[in-house]
Homo-oligomer: A and B are copies of this chain.
Amino acid sequence: MRVSVVGASGYVGGELLRLLLNHPGCEIASVTSKRYAGELIYRVHPNLRGSTALKFEEMSPEKMNDSEIVFSALPHSQSSEVVCGLIAQGRKVIDLSADFRLKDAAAYEQYYGYKHLHPDALEESVYGLPEIHREEIKKAVLVAVPGCMATAAILGIAPVISQQLIDPAKLVVDAKIGSSGAGVSPTLASHHSERSGGVRPYKTTHHRHIAEMEQELSAVTKQEVRVSFTPHAVNMVRGVLATVHAFGKGPVETKDVWKAYRSMYEKEPFIRMVSDNRGLYGLPNPKTTTGTNYCDIGFEVDPHNNRLVIFAALDNLTKGAAGQAVQCFNIMSGIDERAGLNTVGLHP
């Protein structure tokens, strides 16, 4: 199947190319970047040296015509225009920006600070989290790939909240994220000298991923869910760890929690339950997911306060972005959901 990647010079675009170049079921038709048009891809994504001689091109609608599915890795607010054009042209699109994640157009003004130009498309788009929306993804024309921290939080919480095990009003998500989550553009916040050796809380009460988390968790549990979310920038390149502190509605029992996870995830190819709490790796740690499409989930029941602590770890560029996009692609294409996603992580 022929695919194209629009806006591929960033970290998410590069990760997508890494996965697609190794994917048995697709052929890359065109890779675009305004900034790097004409440049060899491996000069921007040096890991691909030896794997491809492709060059970045300027985006043009015609070039997309023979691609069955187009991936867009354009920035938030710049993606919607291009994506809607591609759909009008008859393409299916997997969009990695936030532009089609939220169902409520008004939320874009509240969380993203811009007025959405294509609110109609929001209805049509499918939130690309296979563990929850697999059936809709199969038929989707437009898939909006979730945010990385939203993916971790939702996957960690959904099973237990849908079983009504926890209080939806006192849900704390404390996230730790690596620097690649901030993208390829140099800023002081991601300057090596500033980032190394510290832990920096940011957007402590109003991060954009809250909107996704609440939308999806409210849908799953059919009541309003409020997430208290605070992310922290840590000295790590790839990886998200979402630590969820939840409180039981009634007394939380370990066996009920296991049952909730098992019933929802037993057959999921990319969820690993890491919850034996034995040894150094008995609970999720994003280090173990680097480069893979896994979301590792573990938990502990804290009888002291009737608390349930949940840990969800993933690679923000893979299961948190490009890998999830490829997983959606596989579902849309009716092929093995694991195709092209067989990277085994590294240790150490």
Whether A50 contacts B294 by the Cβ 8 Å rule is yes
Whether B280 contacts A234 by the Cβ 8 Å rule is no
Residues from chain B with a CB closer than 8 A to the CB of A284 are 201
Residues from chain B with a CB closer than 8 A to the CB of A44 are 279
Residues from chain B with a CB closer than 8 A to the CB of A169 are 305
Question: Are A236 and B197 CB-contacts (below 8 A) given A18-B344, A278-B43, A305-B226?
Answer: yes
In-complex Cβ contact of A304 among B226, B241, B283, B345 (8 A): B226
A237 in contact (CB, < 8 A)? yes
Q: A226 — nearest CB in chain B belongs to which residue?
A: B305
| Chain A residues with a Cβ under 8 A of chain B | 11, 14-15, 18, 21-22, 43-51, 169-170, 172, 174, 176, 178-180, 182, 184, 186-202, 204-206, 210, 226-228, 230, 232, 234-239, 241, 243, 245, 247, 272, 274, 277-281, 283-288, 290-291, 294, 300-302, 304-305, 307, 309, 311, 313, 342-348
Residues from chain B with a CB closer than 8 A to the CB of A182 are 193
Residues from chain B with a CB closer than 8 A to the CB of A290 are 197, 346
Whether A291 contacts B291 by the Cβ 8 Å rule is yes
Would you give the shortest CB distance from A274 to chain B, in whole angstroms?
A: 7
A-B contact pairs, 7 of them (CB 8 A): A47-B288, A184-B348, A198-B236, A199-B313, A204-B300, A205-B300, A234-B235
Question: Given contacts A200-B280, A201-B283, A238-B346, could you give 17 more A-B pairs where the C-beta distance is less than 8 Å?
Answer: A11-B348, A18-B346, A46-B347, A172-B172, A174-B243, A189-B280, A191-B192, A192-B195, A193-B348, A196-B237, A197-B236, A198-B285, A198-B287, A201-B241, A205-B301, A205-B302, A206-B302
Residues from chain B with a CB closer than 8 A to the CB of A202 are 283
Q: How far is the CA of A184 from the CA of B243 in the complex (A)?
A: 28
Report the copy number of this chain in the oligomer. Answer: 4
Question: Are A288 and B344 CB-contacts (below 8 A) given A187-B186, A196-B192, A283-B201?
Answer: no
Residues from chain B with a CB closer than 8 A to the CB of A21 are 344
Would you give the shortest CB distance from A16 to chain B, in whole angstroms?
A: 12
Q: How far is the CA of A345 from the CA of B198 in the complex (A)?
A: 13
Q: How far is the CA of A268 from the CA of B268 in the complex (A)?
A: 40
Q: How far is the CA of A304 from the CA of B180 in the complex (A)?
A: 28
In-complex Cβ contact of A191 among B48, B191, B300 (8 A): B191
Whether B232 contacts A241 by the Cβ 8 Å rule is yes
Q: How far is the CA of A170 from the CA of B287 in the complex (A)?
A: 30
Residues from chain B with a CB closer than 8 A to the CB of A48 are 344, 347
Question: Are A197 and B197 CB-contacts (below 8 A) given A280-B188, A300-B205?
Answer: yes
